[in-house]
Amino acid sequence: MLLLSSLLHFLFSLLATLMSIFGTLIRSLARSIDSRNASLASVDTDGRRPNTHALEKRLDNLWNVLSKDLITPEDLPAFESLKHLDALDDRQMLLEVVLTKMAQLSKYPISMKIQKVVIDLLYKDLPHPPVGFLSSVDITRTIAASSQPDALTPPTMPKHVHYAFRAADGSNYNPLVPGIGKVGSPYARSVPSTNLTPSTTLPDPELVFDTLLKRDKFEPHPDRISSLFFAFADLVIHSIFNTSHSDWGINNTSSYLDLSVLYGNSEAELDGVRANDGTGKLKPDCFADVRLLMMPPASCALLILLNRNHNYVAQKLFDINEFGGFKDPSTLLPEDKKIQDDEIFHRSRLVNCGYFMQIILGDYVGAILGLVRDGYDWRLDPLMEMRELDHSVSPRGEGNVVSVEFNLLYRWHATLSQGNVSWLESEIASAGLPEGVSATSIPGFRLAAANLAKKYGSGSPTEWTFAGLSRVDGKFKDTDLANIIQDATNDVAGAYGARGIPECMRAIEVLGMVQSRKWGTCSLNEFRKFMGLKPYADFKEWNPDEKVHEPAQALYGDIDRLELHVGLAAEQTKVPGNGAGLCPGYTISRAILSDAVCLVRGDRFLTTDFTPFNFTAWGWKDCQYDTEDGSYGGMLTKLLFRHLPDYYPTGSVLAHFPFTIPQKMFESISKNKNASVHNYRWPAQFEKQLGDGAKALPAVPKTPYTWKRIDSYDAVKAALTTEASSFTSNVSNRREATVEPLLQQRKRDSASLKTIQAKQAAVTEAIVAGEQWTEWFKKKTEWLIQNHSFKQIGSDKPEYVDIVKDVINLLPVHWICEEITGVPLKSDANPRGTMYEQETCKKFQDVARYIYVDSTPVDDFKFRDRSRKHARELIGYIEEGLESAESHFSSLGGDVLEWVRLSKKSDSAKFLKKLRSSIGNTSNTNLAINVFNATVPTAALFSKAVALVVDYFLDDANKAAKAEIVRIYQSNESDAAKKIMGYVREVLRLRPILAGVYRTAVKPVPAQNINLQDWVFVDIAKANSSLGQTPDYARQQGILTPYEDGLFTPKFFDTIVPVIVGTILSKEGLKRAAGESGKLTRFSEDWHGTRQEEYVNTAGLVTPWPDAMIAEY
C-alpha cells in the first residue's frame, strides 16, 4: 500500500505540474470548446438551468483537487485501520482523513455518496429512541418546566395553526412519541456500565483534580481558536443541559437546539421575553436563561445578537407578508392580534433556530474540523434526506434525548482563556463570601453561585445586565457588544488536556466527579467500546505523558477503572492537521461529531419540517449559509455584519472568521493559493505585513456612532450636484475594484486606471450620443414582446408576456451585447450565441448591485467577487472584438467568437472598429474596460427605472395618465419625448430608483452640521416626497438618480426611455394579468428612517431588482 500511495502521489504531482505549465493553453482550449458547445445548444432551455462553462468549471475543480495532495503516505495508517471497524484505532485519524477527502472532492458525486455513509454511521452511533434512562420516564404526557430549578408551569398551545412550531417545553418533536426529549425528562443512559468497581474505592475527587486536572500553566490552543468559539459553545451546551438541583437525574431543558437559553423552557418564561404586541417580536436585548449571566460576557453578547436577529426576522416576515394575512397590529382586535403575534413569533423562532443550527454546522463544526482554517466551504450536511442501500428511508426527525455521557463530555473548562479566568476570578471576588471561605471549596462555591444569581438575576429579563454594561432605552450599546465580541475574537482560548483546568473551577470539577459517580456512569473504555473505538490497553496508551499517566495509574490502578469524566478531560489531545481543528482528546473528538449529527438530524424542525412553507420562502433562504460570502461556509458572519454594521466594516476579518484569532487566519490565508489576505480588512497591527494599499480596521468607537442625515429637498439636491465635491462615495472605488484583478493579470500598473478614467467620458459619449438608438429600442421592444408572448389554450387573444423579466430587463442586455460590446448573446435572433439572456441579465444585475447599490456588508464580498468574475468574462469579449477590429488575425478564442456571430450581422464589430479608430493612445484592454464601465454597470438600474414607470401606469388609478402617454407617443409631436419624460420623472420622484445613498464628508458642510469624515445618509426618497404625494406630470423638480453616467446620461435616458415606455403602454388592451402574477413581488421596509422598496425573487431572495410581472394585451 505504501508503494501504491507513493505512486499515486507522484502521478498527482506530475499532473499538477503539467497543468501549471500548460494551464493557460488548456484553459483557452476549454473555453473554446465550451463556447462551441454553448453555441450549438438550443435557445430554449425548457426551464433547465443553462450549463455554460461546464468544461472550464471541471478543470477548475480538478485544479483545486490536484493543488492539494489527495492521497499522501500519512493517510495510509488511516486506511489500514479499516480492517478493524469493530474497534477502530482513532489515533490513525480515519474519520478525519475521510472528512478531508470529502471536502477536497466536494464538487464530485463521490463526495456525496461518502457523506451519506458517514452521516448514517454517525447518526446510528446512538440509539433512537434511547434504550435507557436515569429514572422512569412518561413520554406520553406533556409538561413544561422552567429553567429555574424545579419550577413547573402548565403549557398553553396556539390552536388552529396551519404551520409547524416549537412548543415551549420541547414536546411534540416526535408526533408518535410526543414526550421524547421534553423539558423535565430524565437524562438518557447510552452506556449501561458493567464495571465492578465500587464507587467507594475510586480516588478522592479533590485528589484527582490536584494531580491530574489542575492547570499548572496556561497553554494556548494549538490551532489558535478564539475564546468566542467557546462562548458560542456555552450557548449550545446550556440549550441542551440544565441539571435539576433537587434531582440530578432530571434535565430541566429540552434535548433540542431550540435556543431555549433565549426563549425559555415554559410558556411563562416565553411570555417574559415576548413583546406580545402583534409583531411577533421579543422584548429588546433580553433572554430567558439566568445561567448565562454567570458565563463569560461574550456568551451573553452573542445571545443578544440572536435576540436582535429574531426581531429582524419578525420584521422582515411582516414586511414581506408572503401569505398576505398580516396587518398593522393597531387595526386588529385583541384575539386577532394574538393570532398574528403567535404566527410571526413561531415562524421567526423557526428561522432563528435555523440560524443557530447553521452556525453550529458552518462555523462551529467548521472550526472543529479545521475546514475554515484550510479554506474549505464544504460542510457535513446531517439534514439531508437519503435512502439506505435497501431503499428504505433513512430516519430523520425521530426526536432526541441527551445523555449523561454527553453531559460529561462537554465539560471544557481547560479551554478557558487567560482573559476569561481573570474575569471569573473577579466575579468570584465580588460574590461577597465571608472571610476565610474560599470559592474553590464546594460550600464556598455554592454560596458564591447563589450570591451571584441574586446579584444578576433579580428583576425581569429586560432588566438583567452583564459585564457591567448599562442599558439605554432598554437596549445595550452596540459599542459595548462589539467590544466584548471583538475582544473574544482576539483572545486565544486554552488548550484541551490534562493539567489545564484553572484552580477557580476546582469546586465545579469536583462536583462533576461526584455527580458522575452518583449517575453510575460508565468508564472511559466502556464508552469507547460503545462508540466503536479501540479500548485503551494501559494508561500510557491513553496519555503518553508520564506526568499524567503515572499519577493516573497510581490513583486508578487499572485502565478499565478510569472513570469517564476524568478520562475525557486528561486524555492525550490531537494536534492540528487535516480534519483536526478543535484538538480535544481523541474520544471527545469522535463523540462530538456523532452528537452534532444526532442533535440536528433528530430534530424535525431542522429536518422534515425545515421547509419554505413553515419558515416562509425568504426565511428558509435567509438561514442558509452562503459559500460565496468569503467566510468558507460561515454563518455567524451574517449576524455580526447585520446587527453591528458600524463596528464590522465590509471585509472585516473579525466578522468573516470570528472563531479563530486573526494572526492564525492571516497565516492560513497566506498559504492558500486560492485566496488572498488582501480580500479582507485586518486589524492595524497587520499593516506592515499587508503592504501598500491595505486598509486597516478602524478602532471600535468609545461611543455609539450616529449617522448624519440630509433629507430636505434643497440639501439633497445640493449634496448630489453643486456640493458633490464636499462628499465622496464608494462608487468609483468599487468600479476600480471590479476591474483591478484584470489589470493585475495583464500586468498593468496604477497608471492604467488613470488612463481609463481620462478616456471614460469620451467613450461614454461615443456610445450614448445621438438619437440613432431610438428606432432600435422601439423595434427591439416590439420584438421582445412578440417573441416572449404566450396564449391561452384555444384562443389567440388575449396574449400574455412577462413584461419585466422578458422585455424590460432584457432590453439593455440586447443593446449592449448586440450593438456595442459584441458579447455573443444567445437568442432567437442569434441562436449561435453562447450566453443566455437571463443568465447575462443576472450578471449585469450583480455588477450594478456591487457598484451602485449600497449593499450590506453581508453581501459585499459575494457581489465583489461575482462582479470581478463577470467583468473578466465580458471585458474579454470586448477586448477580442477590438483586436478583431484592427487585425485580420485572431486567437483561437477569437475564431470561435466570430463563428458564433455568423448567424447575425455583427453591428457591434462596426461600432468597435469605429470606436477603436476614434479613441487613440490607449490599449485594447483599457478601452474594453471603458466600454464595460459605460454600459454594463448601469443596465440593471436602467431596467428598474423603466419597470417602475410601467408598473405605475398599469394601476387602475393611473389609467387616464396612461392614456395620455399613449396619445402623446402616437401623435409624433416633436416634443413627445420631452412630455413623456415629465410623466417618467414624476413616477421616479414618487418611487425613486434608489431611496438613498451613503456619502462620506471630505470637507465640512456647516449648513447641514456636517463635519469632516462624517458618515452621511442622503435621503432621496424623503426629499422627493417633500414636494408632495399628488402626481404633477408637469413638475420640473424631483431627483431622478444620484448618478448621471452610463445609461443614465441625460441625453440617452431622456431620449430612449420615452420610446420604451410609449411602445409598451401602446399595446392594445394592455393591463395586468389576474392575481399576483400581474404584480411585482415587492415590499417596503425601513432604511435609516425612510421607506425603501425591495423585491422578492423566485428563489426567495430579497433583491433590489423587479423580478417578474405578467401583463395581458
Quote the mean pLDDT of the chain.
Answer: 89
Q: What is the pLDDT of residues 65-93, one digit of tens each?
A: 555 555 565 555 554 555 455 668 899 88
- Per-residue pLDDT reduced to its tens digit, 512-552: 999 999 999 999 999 999 999 999 999 999 999 999 999 99
Q: Is the domain of 606 the same as that of 729? A: no
Whether the pLDDT of residue 25 is over 90: the answer is no
Strand bridging mode 250-251 / 825-826: unpaired
> Which residue stretches of 410-545 are H helix?
418-429, 442-457, 478-490, 506-519, 524-530, 539-542
Mean pLDDT of 817-837: 91
Q: Say how far apart CA 234 and CA 136 lie, in whole Å.
A: 29
Consult the annotation and say whether 413 binds a ligand.
yes
Mean pLDDT of 553-575: 97
pLDDT, position 693:
62
- The answer to whether 133 and 188 have CB atoms below 8 angstroms apart is yes
Residues 618 and 727 in one domain: no
Domain co-membership, 491 together with 605:
yes
Q: For residues 41 and 121, state if they share a domain.
A: no
Q: For residue 526, give the CATH number of its domain.
A: 1.10.640.10
Give residue 156's pLDDT.
46
**Residue at 696 is within a domain:** no
Given the residues 364, 376, 410, 680, the one annotated as active site:
410
| 882: in domain | yes
pLDDT band for position 324 (cuts 50, 70, 90): very high
**Looking at residue 634, what is its pLDDT?**
86
- Confidence band, pLDDT 50/70/90 cuts, at residue 46: low
Res 33: pLDDT: 74
Question: 3-state DSSP call for residue 157?
Answer: coil
255 inside domain: yes
Average the pLDDT over each of 811-815, 899-903, 930-934, 1059-1063 and give the range with the smallest value: 899-903
**562 closest CA partner among 622, 530, 521, 532:** 521
For the stretch 416-446, pLDDT in tens is 999 999 999 999 999 989 988 998 999 999 9
Query: Are 745 and 894 contained in the same domain?
Result: yes
Residue 447 lies in a domain: no
Measure Cα distances from 561 to 193, 207, 537 in Å.
Answer: 11, 16, 12
Taking only the tens place, the pLDDT of each residue in 968-1025 is 999 988 899 999 999 999 999 999 999 999 999 999 999 899 999 899 999 999 999 9
Three-class SS of residue 791?
Answer: strand
pLDDT band at 19 (very low <50, low <70, confident <90, very high): low
pLDDT tens, position by position, 145-172: 344 434 344 444 456 678 999 999 999 9
Count the domains in the chain. Answer: 3
Residue with cell 496604477: 750
In a domain, 485, yes or no: yes
Residue 703 lies in a domain: no
Average pLDDT over residues 618-634: 93
Domain boundary among 607, 626, 645: 626
Query: Of the residues 37, 71, 105, which one is the last residue of a structural domain?
Result: 71
For residues 57 and 163, state if they share a domain: no
Q: What is the DSSP letter of 480?
A: H
Nearest one of 95, 97, 33, 27 to 69, comparing CA atoms:
97
Q: What DSSP line would sit under 86-111, residue for residue?
A: GGB-GGG-HHHHHHHHHHHTTTSHHH
Render pLDDT for 280-322 as a digit per residue (tens, 0 to 9): 999 999 999 999 999 999 999 999 999 999 999 999 999 999 9
Cell 414581506, residue located: 320
Flag whether 645 is in a domain.
no
Mean pLDDT over 931-953 rounds to 98
Q: How far apart are the C-alpha atoms of 33 and 642, rounded to whole Å?
A: 43
Reduced to 3 states, what is the DSSP secondary structure of residue 385? coil
How many angstroms separate the CA atoms of 1004 and 998, rounded? 16
Do 808 and 847 sit in the same domain of this protein?
Answer: yes
Q: Cβ of 456: how many Cβ atoms within 10 Å?
A: 18
Region for residue 1110 given its phi and psi (left: phi exceeds 0; alpha: psi -120 to 50; beta: otherwise): beta
Q: Which neighbouring-strand residues pair with 214?
A: 501
Q: Are residues 616 and 736 in the same domain?
A: no
Asked if residue 1033 is part of any domain, the answer here is yes
User: Residue 20 pLDDT more than 70?
Assistant: no
Amino acid 155: pLDDT: 42
Percent with pLDDT over 70 in the chain:
88
Cis peptide before 1004 (omega within 30 of 0): no
Q: Last residue of some domain: 71, 100, 121?
A: 71
Average pLDDT over residues 115-119: 91
Give me the residue label for grid cell 467500546: 529
Would you place residue 690 in the very low, low, confident or very high pLDDT band (cuts 50, 70, 90)?
Answer: confident
pLDDT for 643 equals 96
For residue 824, pLDDT over 60 is answered with yes
What does the pLDDT read at residue 143? Answer: 40
Quick: pLDDT tens for 697-748: 877 777 767 789 999 999 999 999 999 999 999 999 999 999 988 887 776 6
- Measure the CA–CA gap between 775 and 810, rounded to whole angstroms: 17
Q: What is the mean pLDDT of residues 918-946?
A: 95
Burial 625-662 (b: 16+ CB within 10 A, else e): bbbebbbbbbbbbbbbbbbbbbbbbbbbbbbbbbbbbb
| 891 pLDDT more than 90 | no
What range does the domain containing 337 cover? 78-417+470-626
Is 923 in the same domain as 1053?
Answer: yes
Same domain (yes/no): 772, 829: yes
- Please tell me the predicted confidence (pLDDT) of residue 896: 52
* pLDDT tens string 174-225: 888 889 999 999 999 999 999 878 888 999 999 999 999 999 999 999 999 9
Beta pairing, strands 471-472 & 475-476: antiparallel
Residues 53, 130 within the same domain: no
CB count within 10 Å of CB 185 equals: 29
Strand pairing report for 996-1001 and 727-728 = antiparallel
Range 1062-1073 average pLDDT: 97
Percent pLDDT > 90 in the chain is 71
480 and 371 in one domain? yes
Q: Which residue has the cell 500598473?
A: 749
The pLDDT value recorded for residue 1018 is 96
Mean pLDDT for the stretch of residues 226-249: 96
Partner residues linked to 1086 by β-bridges: 1091
705 is catalytic: no
Query: Average pLDDT of 648-653?
Result: 94
